[in-house]
Amino acid sequence: MAGGPLFNVQLGRRDGLISKASRVEGNLPLPTFNVNQLNTMFARHNLTQLDMIALSGAHTLGFSHCNRFANRLYSFSSSSRVDPSLDPTYAQQLMASCPQNVAPDIAINMDPVTAQTFDNVYYQNLVAGKGLFTSDQVLFTNPSTQSTVNDFANNPGDFNGAFITAMRKLGQTGVKTGNQGEIRRDCTAFN
């Protein structure tokens, strides 16, 4: 991975002693969320709409399995099989990579342009109709978030600053104290 802002994080945060996939549901946004649903979920963690838009920029890295966005390609609505907010060429590329009934282990990059670089191209992709998830593309199509997406698309410094602020705020959510959790010697394993 290359790029991205550098910033100090607080040390000494306690990690939980339980890690189960079943605890994730309801705590991370679904790829089908609209702006109101995104704002509601992030607000539960004292994060603003600006924080939500900035943190969504992390989708400049990583991949997704096809089933997380296939509805945008094959069954979007009764009036349009393909999500009309998708760039038509990008939709065709996605269909080629993720045909109907594709194997569940097939995945594609969330950022079709600079998948290995943390940058603001994610927002440029949204402006171009190349947001992979509904919850990505809606950040550009919704009037309440569009100006921030345009700003981040054109000003990497604004995105990086907002991302740092949002990450620091996110690091303050659900802080454990006392004997709740532990400060790990190795972050990949319980002590």
- Rounded Cα distance between 70 and 33, Å, is 14
pLDDT at residue 136, as a whole number = 98
pLDDT at residue 78, as a whole number = 94
Contacts of 169 (CB under 8 A, 6+ apart): 46, 47, 51
pLDDT at residue 178, as a whole number = 84
- Cα–Cα distances (Å) from 122 to 40, 145, 169, in that order, read 22, 15, 22
pLDDT at residue 9, as a whole number = 81
At residue 34, the 3 state secondary structure works out as coil
pLDDT at residue 148, as a whole number = 98
Rounded to two decimals, the pTM is 0.92
Extract the tokens encoding 71. 């509805």
Q: Can you tell me which residue has the tokens 């943390």?
A: 118
Extract the tokens encoding 154. 């054109």
Residue 58 — φ and ψ, nearest 5°?
-65, -15
- State the 10-residue block means of pLDDT for the chain, 191 residues long: 79 81 87 97 96 97 96 95 97 97 95 95 98 98 98 97 95 86 85 87
pLDDT at residue 2, as a whole number = 66
pLDDT at residue 22, as a whole number = 85
Q: What is the CA radius of gyration of the chain?
A: 18
